[in-house]
Structure 1
Amino acid sequence: MAERLPDGRSRRPATSCLLCRKRKIRCNHETPCSNCLRAGNENCVYESHNRPAPVSRARLGRVQGAPVPGHQDFTAASTPSSQSSGLDAELLRLKLRIQDLEEQLSKLGPRPVNSALESPNSNIQTLNSTIGGTFHVHCEGSSLGQQQAIARSVTHKTRLFGQSHWAVNGLLLVRDVFESIDAHSRPETTKAWSGIERCKSLARSIKSQRTFSWLSSSTPDLPPKEISDALVDCYVRSTESIHRILHIPSFRRDYDAVWISNMAAADKGFMVQLWLVLAIGAVTYDERFSLRISATRWVCAARSWLSEPKSKSQLDIQTLQISLLFLVAQERLGMVEDSIWISVGALLRKAIYMGLHRDPAFLPPRTTFAVEMRRRLWNTILEMTLQSSLTSGGPPLISLDDFDTAPPGNFDDDQIMTEDPVPQPPDSFTQVSIAIAFRETFPQRLAVVKFLNDLASPVAYDKTLQLDAKLRAAYKALVRILLAYSRSTTAPAPSPFEIRMADFIIHRYLLSLHAPYFGAAFSETVYAFSRKVVVESSLKIWRAAYPVTVNNSPDVPEANELQRLITCSSGFYPAGAIHAAFLIAMDLRMQLKEDESLDPVPLRPDLLSVISEAKQWCLQVVEAGETSVKGYLLMSVIATQIEGLMHRLGEDEITARLIKAVEEVEEKCMPVLTAMASEFHIPENESSNAPQPMDMARENGTMEYFGCMPSDTLFDFANTEPMGWMFNDDPSMGTASFWRFFLSYWQASIIIRTKTVMYWDPER
């Protein structure tokens, strides 16, 4: 049947070969035809009857690159190009076919630029709340074909949190609570959110004053020697046992020399190390972090030294040690400007530039001391890279193929100072044994974090189970090693702090691995194993933060040190504790919602006790100096909802109690914040009138510490926007306050530039 053109005319299928059609000559329809035989064309090609739509002469001319003068047939004249072989004719046919396909595809509609990277199951859920702002949760469907979507990441303002960040798996679980409060709370009927805002306003003033209160002295004072000794001991027990940074005998030798000789004559690099050691030790010095202000001064002084222009490159071991100590102190004091993950990434690249990723066996010969210190520092950088990735939800950006540095040797610190020392047997406990044991689990933990946060990782539950099996095997090996050390009656053994710390860290990885499927497990039985792992790992993590004493007998001080670290610090440790308590509460809440029996559902007492403990712990965190009240707010509203479900109250009555719980947050937390503010003589109702940064700058002539501002890294999402102050994020900051702040910042930048010019050497 003849083919119809758009204008209604009919066209018969072409029966000539391509070369005869091109030359407009008669074809005898043979294979090969007579004309191809005469032209020596061995490849006589006929077009299939299932050809594409008819092609205009103008389009054919564009394909061949020839002009189209009006309606004249440009193929009528015989030219040398018309004598081309059958191969040219075949290429012409393919070009026409490709153009037809491209036109058909273009009619299907526009396609996204990166459509190849987009998952067909991806979707974004937007959450809005008064307390937290707007969050966009990116979800993907499960590889098992279940209905429940799995959260992959969260976008909040300019940040993107990966799957290991605790908020990614928590926001969808608790959204109904805050949506219910927002829907039923009105400014004219409740002071719920206004009370939270008053707490936030006072908290901002406290954080500012903690930083600027010490600027009257360029060099911070050391505490009395007995307190300094205790802080150094706290640092060694709480940090060096896991993260080997310093050579303890050398540090103590220089430390003793500071007190014997004139402190002004001490090496400035060592004094910076000492400030940071004291700051880190102050976190676990007591239950209330009573030395927080002094610790802030020491960290900011170290920051100033690190940012000073140097006469030469500072790519040496001492500066690397200071950088590591500075990052640890920043995180534990909550003084990270943006994300510790970003800073650790820069330090990782510095270490690679110094060659620490290459084992010293492949580098020029060095002493045993130098070799072991390089291995220890690289091992610590790997651990900090992994922990910061897990906490922030960012990809680790390192693989096992990127380094060949061996783990540290099993030496005590005194050994590596001797000539040709022999490492101790693997079953002998040394000052580096804990770090070596953790290094054995590094490949499995790295695989977990890469699976959770790398862009190309799929939502694959079978992969989750495989990683779980490998991580558990590594964990069992770690437990066997630590138990073997502990059974020794004569040799040194791990402290209670080190054993509990190992348990805490490994369960954080297990929890993060299974947390993405925790919410889906409520409706999909295929994820029941993940629900069980999340609950049990959360309970172990929580007991590290909030231990239960036996027969009311207090633990030894070393055992309490982990509890102090989790309660008084920021970052990795308290984030793990609040995440664990939150997930336990979510499991209890779901059990109550699923219950349809006449009798109340029996809840596990060990899990139920976590709810009241977590609420009390969050208040202790504020009493220890944390200015954000959002942790206490979160656990208060969840505890209130669980209590209402246990008493089988109606939805309206539960909502009323939730609003009351928000109002009580101010009643509990404001007195604690007011006591903190009183240290700086900040009236509770005049927090917005706190001294401006430029007032301090005029007295001291410098603003080099302007950026050293503690931040709420634990609970505060709303204040992670670095330019939020410009858009009047603070209700207490009026127009006049805004311009005062802007003018102060502008004047401070001039001072900074002036000071930089003083250090500038044009010959360098």
Structure 2
Amino acid sequence: MSTRSAESRSNSPDASVEKRASKKRKVLSCYACRNRKMKCDRVYPVCSRCQKTGRAEQCTYDPRLLEELPASGEGHLEGGIGLNNFPQPDSGLGPTPNSNIAPDALTWKLRIQERRLGLLERQIARMDNTRGDVNAPSSIVNNLDDHEDDPKIKECFMFRGKSFKTQFYGSTSPMTLIGQFPELQIFTRAAMSIDSSMGRIRGDFKAFRTRRKALLKEKGPKFQGTDAEILPMLPTRSVMDHHVALYLKTFETSYRILHEPTFWKEYHAFWEAPQGELTPIHFVVILLLILAATKCLTPEQDTVFIGDSSIGREAASNIIDACDAWLKRQPRKHLTLAFFQQNCLSLVAKRVNCVKMKQDWINSGDLIRMAMAAGMHRDPSLLAGKRISEFETEMRKRLWGTIAELELASSIDCGLQSSLCGLYFDVPPPANVPDEIFHTESPQAPVGRPLDHFTASSYLVHSHRSLSLRVHLMQLLNNPSTNLQYSDVLHYDAQITSILSSFPTWSSPESVVSGALLNLQLRQFLLILHRPYAILAATNSRFAYSFTACANAASSIIGSHDLLIQRNIFALNHIRNDIFRAAMTTAMVAYNNSSFPELSDPPLNGTAPITEPPAPKSNPAEWGTTTKPSIPPGVQLNIPQMPSNNLMMKCLVTTSMELIERCVAIFEHKVMSLGTGYMEFWILCSALSLMPASSPFNPAMYNYSNDLRSRNQKAIDGITRLCFRVLAMQKDPEDNFASSLRSTISTASPPDGHSSFTNVVVPQGATPRGPGPESSIMGVPGVHGIPGAGGLATALASGGKIMAPGQGAWDDLQDMQVDMSGWTFPDFWAFDMGGDS
């Protein structure tokens, strides 16, 4: 019986198969190229050779290879399993078990497969139609023209410089939007040719910054990074108390860097230590970086400027330089909790003050690599035994989540791939608990609160849920080989909207920053995804939803910042570029969906490109008398008019103009707090001036040249008003910068003899007077009625002072890593060239 059983087993089909089975080598090339013994570039779903020879339907790959290799971009197969083990956005918070491919990457691969099947079905349908087959499957016929009207979206990027002195900015960077809006470029060049004062103001800023750079270069490095340089920079305890409280209220409710009970224990011990006791320098560095991060966040009305930069930003920059020099001297062999806290605080301080932003992506990348080298990207439970405490486990989770968010935000703003793309990490999110629940001696892990209960760690907990999607979108949007179709945009729109609707609504006042940040970091992707299609809404009704989606996303972004500013919270306006992105996207979409009626006075078509603005004329009365701005040959500047035959477009364009106005006001807060970002403000003023007029268009009464001049002057008035406010708040009114700028503004009256300064208010106690010999400007006695910006500058020179209605925060293009001197319209871009290196 046993013999028969053995025989039956040996003769069984399974046994014979098992004996003969051998592991086949995977075929990397497609089968078509392999059979023809041709070289295959292994592009998925169809290699280029099969595509060129018309054999796309024969291009197939080894199924085992497709199961193991993730698709990158449009389908280039890459070796290795390197994608993150992220949780799905709508699932739990833990990593996906037994999965080597991120859910979003897997979904994208399935969509590529579906697209390939659709391509094959369309080819079969065409073959059947050619043969006169009227019985073709209905699914094939329905899919025949699914994507025939999808426009070809070009890569959006900025590549400037020459030789090896180049900089690259990818699709997700807000600065690349400027290059996608050629009409705005032409408009700004026309404005600078109309009024030569813009060129002189530009020269004042550039000359001041050139002198400042030369002076700093002569002096050499300001700090050597010694302990003796650090200690004298610490202010008194009363000053430090205010800044620490502001920091904890603003940043520690979202990014988690410190453990508050432990920090307060060290803080009190530091100030109460007896004289002569050894000073913990590492803790002093943390205090100084907190001071730098909050230096420009107070809603003070009397902001003072040193040249073009606010005195708070200058002080913060000095502190950051000293702390960075100290950090460079510290050994990295044995890393500590304080080391990662110091580096995180340094990144936050630089961003909130817009200092050294050209190196931000590099610095955040270095920090995340140091964290990876320390194993912070892996689950702390892998450290078996007593090598890590529960307190350290929780702090590692918090710090990794903070570092990942900071690095991802920097990558989006620069348009460069994040280090998280292709990285496997399985560290779980931190527990949703307040800091008081655990301490350095906690014997067990803290038990998390419900997700709808707000704690200081709630932001990291909920942000972890969308991390997979955001990293995936970053990888797709900054990959030039990605062929996103409109169905993909709607797919990701639905995912983002679903995640946003799943966030709880907290009633705690401390949750306002966390809630706004969760909203902003997802809404920005809606603007990026929908913009290419929203600009086509007027000509293709299929994309009308994208215009609505852009307007809704911009409105939500602006509303979040408005709410924060109303509560005197300026941190997110400083540290992020949402306002500039929202304004530029909205302006571009509104312009392209406006009407452009035929005119008897046609738009100007120049015969030679602009290189420099007109040289200053000897007689100030002659300035700004140019009647026809130069425009590059072959390019027409069409002035948009309000849509008249499409009610939906008219409503959306009107709403967009209101949103841009709010963006200009919010960005002005940023500039007047930091003293940087003048070029972006000039761009926003120009974009607002280019928008359609609210009044009905009358072709019989319309004059193109007059309309263009009026719009140009409106944009110039906006930036001139801002420069005047900076001049009014100089710490030293007699320095070279102030004297030069005052001279420029005082002789630069507009051609029509007046200028609007709606944001300049009368000083307290001053009363505006009517016209007459005893009249005064802005209520400053003894100054007679001099029109325009020149009159305001003369009032200042006579001792008058003008206060702004509100102070806030700014940003700067050179601090946003862009030096525009190599562009084809250098007049405009050279305006804000200087800044930190």
TM-score interval, smaller chain:
0.5 to 0.7
Among 641, 646, 650, the residue aligned to 2:690? 641
C-alpha contact 1:510 1:533 (8 A) present in aligned 2: yes
Q: Which moved more, 1:646-655 or 1:202-211?
A: 202-211
- Contact kept? 2:429, 2:464, Cα under 8 Å: yes
Q: Counterparts of 1:495-506 in structure 2 under 5 Å?
A: 495-506=511-522
**Structure 2 partner of 1:660:** 713
Tell me if the contact between 1:199 and 1:669 (Cα under 8 Å) persists in the aligned partners: no
Cα distance, 1:343 vs structure 2: 1.4
Determine which of 474, 498, 501 is the counterpart of 1:476.
Answer: 501
Cα deviation 1:317-365 (Å, max 9, x = unaligned): 2211111111111111111252422211111111111011111111233
Shift of 1:446: 1.7
Aligned to 2:419: 397
The 5 A counterparts of 1:193-592 are 193-202=199-208, 215=222, 218-219=229-230, 220-261=232-273, 262=275, 265-286=278-299, 291-308=312-329, 310=331, 313-336=333-356, 338-365=358-385, 366-399=388-421, 402-417=424-439, 418-427=442-451, 428-478=453-503, 482-483=504-505, 485-486=506-507, 494-547=510-563, 559-561=567-569, 564-567=570-573, 569-570=574-575, 573=576, 575-592=577-594
What is the Cα deviation at residue 168 of structure 1? Answer: 2.6
| Cα distance, 1:154–1:521 mapped onto 2, change above 3 Å | farther
Alpha-carbon distance between aligned partners in 1 of 2:167 and 2:152, rounded to the nearest angstrom = 25
* Equivalent runs, 1:601-612 vs 2, <5 Å: 601=650, 607-612=656-661
TM-score relative to the length of structure 2: 0.58
Change (3 A) 1:591 1:714: farther
Q: Give the counterpart letter for 1:394 in structure 2.
A: L
Contact 2:390-2:443 within 8 A present in 1 as well: yes
Q: Mean alpha-carbon deviation: is it higher for 525-534 or for 247-256?
A: 525-534
Q: Give 3-state SS (helix, strand or coil) of 2:157's partner.
A: strand
Is the partner of 2:233 in helix, strand or coil?
Answer: coil
The letter for the 1-side match of 2:489 is T
When residues 431 and 623 of structure 1 are mapped into structure 2, their CA distance, relative to the original with a 3 A threshold, is closer
Question: Offset of 1:409 from its aligned partner?
Answer: 1.8
Q: Answer whether contact 2:257 2:398 (CA < 8 A) is retained.
A: yes
Secondary structure in 2 matching 1:155: strand
Note the alpha carbon deviations across 1:524-567, whole angstroms, 9 max, x for none: 3333222211111101111222349xxxxx95xxx331xx2244
Paired residue type of 2:402 = T
CA deviations on 1:607-665 (whole Å, 9 max, x unpaired) are 44334333333433332123331122112222222255746444322322244245435
- Between 1:376-385 and 1:420-429, the stretch displaced more is 420-429
Secondary structure of 1:419's match? coil
C-alpha separation in 2, matches of 1:330 and 1:182: 32
Q: Summarize the Cα distance change of 1:500–1:731 in structure 2 as closer, same or farther, 3 Å threshold.
A: closer
Cα deviations across residues 276-300 of structure 1 (Å, max 9, x unaligned)? 1121122322255763333222211
Distance 1:185 1:357, change over 3 A: closer
- Per the alignment, residue 160 of structure 1 pairs with 168
TM-aligned CA deviation for residue 720 of structure 1: 8.7
CA separation in 2, counterparts of 1:176 and 1:412? 51
Letter of the aligned partner of 2:397 in structure 1?
R
Give the match's secondary structure for 2:159. strand
Q: CA deviation at 1:581?
A: 2.3
Q: For 1:671-710, list aligned pairs within 5 A.
A: 671-675=724-728, 678-679=731-732, 682-684=735-737
Contact 2:657–2:688 (CA under 8 A) maintained in structure 1: no
- Aligned in 2, Cα 1:204/1:668: closer, same or farther, shift over 3 Å? farther
Preserved CA contact (<8 Å) 1:351 1:357? yes
CA distance in 2, matches of 1:618, 1:345: 28
For residues 718 and 327 of structure 2, what CA distance do their matches in structure 1 show?
40
Q: Give 1:179's aligned residue.
A: 186
In structure 2, distance between residues paired with 1:732 and 1:720: 9
Q: Deviations along 1:569-621, whole A, 9 cap, x unmatched? A: 25xx2x11122123333344445426564999566765443343333334333
Distance 1:617 1:209, change over 3 A: farther
Q: Which residue in the other structure is 1:130 paired with? A: none
Q: Is the 8 A contact 1:148 1:523 kept in 2?
A: no
Aligned mates of 1:355, 1:347 — CA distance in 2: 13
Cα pair distance change 1:210/1:331, threshold 3 Å: farther
Counterpart residue identity of residue 338, structure 2: Q
Instruction: State, as a whole percentage, how many aligned pairs show the same letter.
Output: 20
Partner of 1:619: 668
2-side partners of 1:605 and 1:226: how far apart? 49
Q: Which has the larger radius of gyration?
A: 1
CA contact (8 A) 1:275 1:298 kept: yes
- Between the aligned partners of 1:469 and 1:720, the Cα distance in structure 2 is 41
Q: Is the 8 A contact 2:594 2:653 kept in 1?
A: no
| 1:238-295 superposed Cα distances (whole Å, 9 cap, x missing partner) | 2111111111111122122222225983211111111111211223222557633332
1:81-107 CA-partner distances (Å, limit 9, x unpaired): xxxxxxxxxxxxxxxx999xxxxx9xx
Q: Contact conserved, 1:538 with 1:580, CA < 8 A, in 2? A: yes
Q: Which moved more, 1:320-329 or 1:450-459?
A: 450-459
In structure 2, C-alpha distance between the alignment counterparts of 1:407 and 1:507, rounded to whole Å: 22
How big is the alpha-carbon RMSD for the aligned residues of Structure 1 and Structure 2?
A: 4.1
Q: How many residues of Structure 1 are paired with residues of Structure 2 in the alignment? A: 550
**CA contact 1:247–1:413 (8 Å) conserved in 2:** yes
Give, in whole Å, the separation in 1 of the partners of 2:205 and 2:718.
9
Q: Distance in 2 between matches of 1:508 and 1:629?
A: 23
Contact 2:682 2:715 in 1 (8 A): yes
Please give the alpha-carbon distance, in whole angstroms, between the structure 1 residues aligned to 2:595 and 2:431.
Answer: 54
| Alignment gaps of 5+ in structure 2 | 1-36, 40-48, 53-71, 75-145, 304-309, 597-641, 742-810, 823-828
Q: Which is further off, 414-423 or 227-236?
A: 414-423
Distance 1:657 1:342 in 2: 44
TM-score by length of 1: 0.64
Whole-angstrom distance in 2 between the partners of 1:500 and 1:542: 10
**In 1, Cα distance between the equivalents of 2:208 and 2:588?**
31
CA distance in 1, matches of 2:419, 2:494: 24
Give, as a single letter, the amino acid of the residue that structure 2 aligns with 1:354.
Answer: A
- CA distance in 2 between counterparts of 1:455 and 1:731 reads 31
SS in 2 for 1:414: helix
Report the CA distance shift for 1:720/1:597 in structure 2 as closer, same or farther (over 3 A): closer
* 2:582 partner letter: A
| Whole-Å separation in 1 of the counterparts to 2:725 and 2:464 | 41
Cα distance, 1:500 vs structure 2: 2.9
The alpha-carbon distance between structure 1 residues 538 and 602, as it changes in their structure 2 partners (threshold 3 A), is closer
Q: What secondary structure does 1:394 align onto?
A: coil
Cα shift readout 1:651-709 (whole Å, capped 9, x = no counterpart): 32232224424543553233334356545963226779xxxxxxxxxxxxxxxxxxxxx
Match of 2:804 in 1: none
**Contact 1:169/1:515 (<8 A) preserved:** no
**Quick one: distance in 1 between partners of 2:484 and 2:448?**
44
| Alpha-carbon spacing, 1:422–1:320, altered in 2? closer, same or farther (3 Å) | closer
Compare the two structures and name the one with the higher helix fraction. 1
